[in-house]
């Protein structure tokens, strides 16, 4: 009996061993059959999004699935960089959010100046002590001087690169609830031109205004959310009879006016409202109905929001699309605060920012030249 029992146990043990061996062989055979095309989509997107355009094209011919993912993350445009202005010294930092890299460069040319606006890779700067106004391109080191002008509590924008004959500078100053003073200039001019305009609707102009140039017009979002429009060709000014965007009451908390941003994309005026830990609310101006329309998607567009100027981009890496990137970097300069409309959350998680704590002249988004890889 004991011998028979031992034989049964041995037989059972052999069966279990054979079963395990067969299972391992099947698993090994399955692993051997797996290919690079079986990579999880999220991992594949992360890998392909870091490739250059040429390598992306090569990867897209591997198989149908790789072609689909490579196309979705193909980078045609370059992301704006976040430029930091030091409180002391001449060293400036540029943060590339697409590659999470930071570059440093010494720019003594900017000593004693504060930033006003950026567009097409150019900075517009102002020296408060001397009232000097000038353009500077940190990528080419070009400087273009402008006539002196006192800008104490007002902001200024320009239409396009100062190397273009169509470049116009614009600033609006509060005189009274019903009167504003608008000043304009252009590269090569000997002085600024200032004219006063009546407002049909109350328009409170302040340093918290947001300016953008779109379709030949300067748009100015006031402190209270009304939109003024200036036509530099016809020298006309009007306040649109469009009520301010509707936000929940909790958005009008402490420092609420500092968490507003405005940009344009393909002729559309886009406004972003933020408030502490609440999800941002994005509005687009419906120019036919003349009302603000809340947006639940950006259709793949990426917005870059900063106090003095904001930008919109298409065809960025897939993980950056349909998101808003804010002018704040966390984790020792490794991660930019962003909000994904697809996932309806901030990245990194719970990394919203109180804009009342930030100096509006601390940093600004700037567009590097196409294929610019960094400072040497």
Question: Which residue would you say has higher pLDDT here, 76 or 95?
Answer: 95
What confidence tier does 9 reach under pLDDT thresholds 50, 70, 90? very low
Are 115 and 58 part of one and the same domain? no
Inter-CA distances, 228 with 171, 221, 318, 330, 348, Å: 12, 6, 35, 35, 35
Q: What is the structure's pLDDT at 228?
A: 94
**In degrees, to the nearest 5, what angle opens at C-alpha 77 toward C-alphas 293 and 340?**
45
What domain count does the chain have? 3
Domain encompassing residue 173:
111-240
pLDDT, mean over the chain: 85
* pLDDT class of 39 with cuts at 50, 70, 90: confident
Which of 240, 270, 295 lies at the terminal end of a domain, its last residue? 240
Residues 258, 224 share a domain: no
Ramachandran angles phi, psi of 203, nearest 5°: -140, 110
116 Cβ neighbours under 8 A, 6+ residues apart: 124, 125, 126, 133, 151, 155, 156, 157, 308
Q: Is residue 212 very low, low, confident or very high in pLDDT (cuts 50, 70, 90)? A: very high
181 and 131 in a common domain = yes
How far apart CA 345 and CA 202 sit, in angstroms, is 36
Decide if 58 is inside a domain. Answer: yes
Question: Exposed (0-12), middle (13-18) or buried (19+): which is 242, by Cβ within 10 Å?
Answer: middle
Asked if residue 252 and residue 220 are part of one domain, the reply reads no
- Alpha-carbon distance of 102 to 81, in angstroms, equals 9
Query: Does residue 305 lie within any of the structural domains?
Result: yes
With residue 115 as reference, give the H or E element that holds it: strand 114-119
- At 46 the pLDDT is 79
Q: Confirm whether 152 is domain-assigned.
A: yes
Sorting pLDDT into bands at 50, 70 and 90, what band is 14? Answer: low
What digits encode the pLDDT tens for the residues 42-87? 787 778 777 766 677 787 778 888 787 777 777 668 899 999 999 8
Name the domain boundary from 213, 240, 267: 240
Q: Does the pLDDT value for residue 10 go beyond 70?
A: no
Give the confidence band of 154 by pLDDT, cuts at 50, 70, 90.
confident
* 158-167, 211-220, 352-361: range with lowest mean pLDDT: 352-361
CATH code at 47?
A: 1.20.1280.50
Which of 203, 224, 240 is the endpoint of a domain? 240
Chain segment 279-289, per-residue pLDDT in tens: 899 999 999 99
Same-domain check for residues 221 and 123: yes
CA distances to 254, 329, 330, 362 from 357, in Å: 11, 14, 14, 11
Q: Which residue has the higher pLDDT, 254 or 136?
A: 136
Instruction: Give me the half-sphere count of Cα atoms (radius 13 Å) on the Cβ side of residue 361.
Output: 15
177, part of any domain = yes
pLDDT tens-digit series, residues 185-201 = 999 999 999 999 998 88
Q: What is the pLDDT of residues 119-134, one digit of tens each?
A: 999 999 999 999 999 9
Cβ contact 227:177 at 8 Å:
no
β-pair partners for 46? none
Q: What is the mean pLDDT of residues 230-258?
A: 82
**pLDDT in the model for residue 333:** 62
Residue 15 has a pLDDT of: 54
Distance (Å, whole) CA 80 – CA 304? 8
What is the pLDDT averaged over residues 93-115? 93
- Residue percentage of the chain with pLDDT more than 70: 83
306 is a domain residue: yes
pLDDT surpassing 80 at residue 32: no
Between CA 265 and CA 214 the distance in angstroms is 8
Other C-beta atoms closer than 10 Å to the C-beta of 196 total 12
C-alpha–C-alpha distance, residues 286 and 264, integer Å: 13
Residue 278 and residue 186 share a domain = no
Contacts 24+ apart (CB under 8 A), 100-104: 100/334, 100/335, 100/336, 101/374, 102/333, 103/374, 103/375, 104/375
- Residues 291, 348, single domain; the answer is yes
| 5-33 mean pLDDT | 53
Which pLDDT value is given to residue 248? Answer: 75
């Amino acid at each position: 009996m004991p011998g028979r029992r031992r034989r049964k146990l041995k037989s059972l043990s052999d069966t279990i061993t054979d079963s395990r061996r067969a299972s391992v062989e099947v698993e090994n055979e399955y692993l051997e059959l797996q290919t690079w095309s079986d990579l999880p989509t999220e991992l594949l997107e992360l890998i392909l999004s870091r490739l250059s355009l040429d390598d992306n094209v090569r990867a897209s011919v591997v198989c149908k699935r790789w072609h689909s993912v490579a196309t979705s993350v193909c980078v045609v445009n370059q992301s704006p960089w976040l430029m930091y202005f030091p409180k002391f010294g001449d060293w400036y930092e540029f943060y590339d959010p697409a590659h999470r890299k930071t570059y440093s460069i010494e720019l003594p040319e900017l000593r004693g100046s504060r930033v006003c606006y950026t567009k097409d890779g150019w900075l517009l700067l102002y020296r408060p002590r001397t009232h000097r106004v000038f353009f500077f391109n940190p990528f080419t080191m070009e400087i273009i001087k402008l006539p002196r002008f006192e800008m104490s509590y007002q902001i200024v924008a320009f239409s396009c690169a100062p190397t273009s004959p169509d470049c116009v500078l614009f600033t609006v100053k509060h005189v009274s609830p019903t009167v504003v003073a608008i000043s304009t200039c252009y590269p090569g001019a000997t002085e600024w031109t200032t004219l006063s305009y009546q407002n049909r609707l109350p328009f409170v102009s302040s340093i918290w205004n947001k300016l953008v140039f779109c379709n030949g017009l300067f748009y100015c979002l006031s402190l209270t959310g009304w939109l003024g429009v200036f036509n530099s060709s016809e020298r006309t000014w009007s306040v649109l009879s469009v009520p301010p965007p509707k936000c929940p009451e909790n958005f009008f908390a402490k420092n609420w006016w500092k968490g507003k941003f405005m940009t344009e994309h393909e002729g559309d005026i886009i406004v972003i409202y933020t408030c502490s830990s609440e999800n941002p609310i994005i509005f687009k101006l419906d120019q036919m109905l003349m009302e603000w329309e809340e947006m639940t998607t950006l259709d793949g567009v990426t917005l870059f929001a900063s106090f003095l100027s904001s930008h919109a981009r298409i065809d960025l890496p897939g993980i950056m699309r349909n998101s808003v990137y804010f002018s704040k970097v966390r984790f020792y300069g490794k991660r930019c605060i962003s909000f994904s409309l697809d996932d309806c959350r901030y990245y990194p998680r719970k990394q919203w920012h109180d804009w009342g704590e930030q100096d509006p002249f601390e940093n600004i988004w700037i567009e590097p030249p196409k294929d610019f890889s960094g400072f040497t």
